Structure 1
Amino acid sequence: MASTPHSSWQLTTDLDGFLTRAEEFLHSSPALHTALLSVTDTLRARGLQVYGEGAPVFGTYTGTGAEAEAGTGASTGTDVGADAAAARAVRGAFVWTPPHRVSLSPLGPGAAEALARHLADVSPGLPGVAAEAVTAEAFARAWEKCTGATAAAGVHQRLYRLGTLTPPEPAPPGRARVATAADRELLERWHVEFGEALGERSAMDPGVWADARLAYGGVTLWEDPDGTPVAMAGVTRRTAGQVRVAPVYTPADLRGRGYAGAATAAVSRAALDAGASDVLLFTDLDNPTSNGLYQRLGYRPVRDFTQYDFTY
């Protein structure tokens, strides 16, 4: 797909071109753009088909003033030079890696509606959307109007940022260690089990995911005193100074013993020691146990996010 203007959205399948246009915007608020940053970083590092066979689609929004709210595609004001410069500034972005949900930056309702109209023309079978809660709802309602689909809210998430790390005391018996190639089969299995526990389709083939994480030491295991792994905490590669902890998983028969908290504290400390300026994570708002755990470790709320699934 060549870059295509529609209203103030520009779509492309060119990852490098997208990043050239959007990088400054994405880095301006890396916490709120964490999903877009980590996905594009993975695409650049592992190839465009890492999330599936479909070609990823990217988009940037350059609306200003009333246009940003109304999504009309019209510029306002009398200073032509200032208007032209403002129109070139990116104020919104999205990344879609088929067959998964489209991921949006926070957008005004006009920008969300304009994007829904455009994507309805080029990708009418879009499976869903994931974004900051207000943006996700605006896009979902516009999608219903444009396509006749039904949008159902799925997972409600809260984004947290680490303040002062407070490791659990006492820590459970055992120690943390970075996963190695010898743990590949275990990582694959736990990756599948993690997705099943959430009721979510895995974004990657389990083996591809394990290899991607092993390539940069992206999973920390907590093992008991006998050396048996009992929990894992993953972390994304650092981009724009920040990393995101994901996934955190303990097998069902080993939960309630403090292993997840110990693994999360260990991977969070390692990220800080490696130079991360921010450490983030998402939680399921319907899981009070995990939300309480992360707050005790020192994580503080940033913003709520929602995932919607579309049926036709």
Structure 2
Amino acid sequence: MRPEDWQLTYDVDDFLARAGDFLRSRPGPHVMQLTWAERVRARGVAAFGAEAAVFGVLEQAGEVRGTFYRLLPRGLGLSPLTPEQAEALAARLAALGHSVPSVSADHATATAFAEAWQRHTGATPARSDTQVRLYGLGTLTPPDPMPAGRSRLLGEEDVAEAVFWCGQFAEAVGEDVTVDAGTWAHTRFADKRYILWETPDGTPVSVAGMNPVIGGQVQVDVVYTPSALRGHGYAGAATTEATRAALAAGAKDVVLFADRSNPTSNALYQRLGYRTLADWALYDLSGPARAVG
């Protein structure tokens, strides 16, 4: 395999025209590829910087075998790749002088690329302490009984409430982002819909967010209950209602990520009918470099 087999483009429409069928053929493992390509398409490349958004397609014998996106400052996102494919991509990006501050993908792919990047650039990879697991919905199994209360879908008139909840979530998980009225439109939270679970008196106690339907799939993203309110089944109720809303919107597949170090949330999602698709890894590639022979 030659590094030149990886074809790069700054045009997201060109990328989706060439790789869209490949990505939609396995929407679960390709969830981040589909999500970020659609965000770039919807918001325009200018929103990410002239050369911040780069996409790539690996074609062999007329068929797409792999893809990537690179968004600065987020880093590189990969479809599942073999070690040989990851090696060729690392060689290609290094030869072109592309900055790759980090890489995220399924564990085997991310690890293969991080090791290859070190070989080609000398950069020392550092694996993130936060490791997540990708789940896909089997058969939804709602909690029985559901906690007392009801769900409420936030509308356009509820932006301030969405900003508040997403700000609380970002702070709780240590996400390096400012979420307020001024920054909202430029965050990853702005293109989602949100469902609140409210107690019988109307007090909101938990939130679950949903990405748009992309490639026939919805990612449930942002599930948060304030620490003082946990243990009452509110997150399970909110996640159930978000999942139902995703299915009602036409999603054939529903996926979500969970922090592998949190046994409570992982057990919850499994009780609701979600099944493991892949373990995910993130490597920081901005570490000190050594000379490459």
* TM beyond 0.5: yes
Determine if the alignment matches structure 1 residue 229 to structure 2 residue 204. Answer: yes
Corresponding residue SS for 1:62 = strand
Bigger relative contact order (CA 8 A; separation at least 6): 2
Higher mean Cα deviation, 238-247 or 146-155?
146-155
- Check 1:168–1:52 CA distance in 2 against 1; reply closer, same or farther (3 A cut): farther
Residues 89-135 of structure 1, C-alpha deviations (whole Å, 9 max, x = no match): 11000011111021100001111011112222335542100101100
Asked if the contact 1:102/1:129 (under 8 Å) is kept, the reply is yes
Offset of 1:146 from its aligned partner? Answer: 1.7
Structure 2: runs of 5+ lacking an equivalent: 289-293
CA gap 1:192/1:50 in 2 versus in 1, 3 angstroms? farther
Q: Which among 86, 96, 121 is matched to residue 95 of structure 2? A: 121
2:195 to 194, 215, 220: 220
1:163-312 mapped onto 2 (5 Å cutoff):
163-202=138-177, 205-209=183-187, 210-213=189-192, 218-310=193-285, 311-312=287-288
Identity %: 49
1:13 positional shift: 0.5
Q: CA deviation at 1:48?
A: 2.5
RMSD: 2.1
Is residue 52–residue 97 contact of structure 1 (8 Å, CA) maintained in 2?
Answer: no
Is the 8 Å Cα contact of residues 10 and 53 (structure 2) preserved in structure 1? Answer: yes
* Distance change in 2, residues 1:257/1:107 (3 Å): same
Q: C-alpha separation between the residues in 1 aligned to 2:246 and 2:132? A: 22
Whether 1:161 aligns to 2:140 is no
Q: Give the structure-1-normalised TM-score.
A: 0.84
* Preserved contact between residue 192 and residue 206 of structure 1 (Cα < 8 Å): no
Instruction: Tell me which residue corresponds to 1:79.
Output: none
1:149 maps to which residue?
Answer: 123
User: Shift in Å at residue 170 of structure 1?
Assistant: 1.8
User: Hey, what's the Cα distance between the residues in 2 that align with 1:182 and 1:148?
Assistant: 51
- Structure 1 regions of 5+ residues with no counterpart? 64-85
User: Could you tell me whether the CA contact under 8 Å between 1:100 and 1:203 is conserved in 2?
Assistant: no
**TM-score between the two structures when normalised by the length of structure 2:** 0.89
Query: How many residues are matched?
Result: 281
Q: CA deviation at 1:274?
A: 2.3
**Conserved? CA contact 2:90–2:116, under 8 Å:** yes
Deviations 1:280-307 (A, max 9, x none): 1111111111100000111111111111
Matches within 5 A, 1:87-126: 88-126=62-100
Contact 2:154–2:196 (8 Å) recurs in 1: yes
CA contact (8 A) 2:70 2:100 kept: no
Bigger mean CA offset, 110-119 vs 185-194: 185-194
- The answer to whether the aligner puts 1:7 opposite 2:4 as a matched pair is yes
> In structure 2, the residue corresponding to 1:90 is in which secondary structure?
strand
Q: Which amino acid aligns with 1:41?
A: E
Do the aligned partners of residues 16 and 294 (structure 1) sit closer, same or farther apart at CA in structure 2, a change above 3 Å counting? same
Give, in angstroms, the shift of residue 182 of structure 1: 3.3
Cα gap change, 1:111/1:9 in structure 2, threshold over 3 Å: closer, same or farther? Answer: same
Contact 1:235 1:246 in 2 (8 A): yes
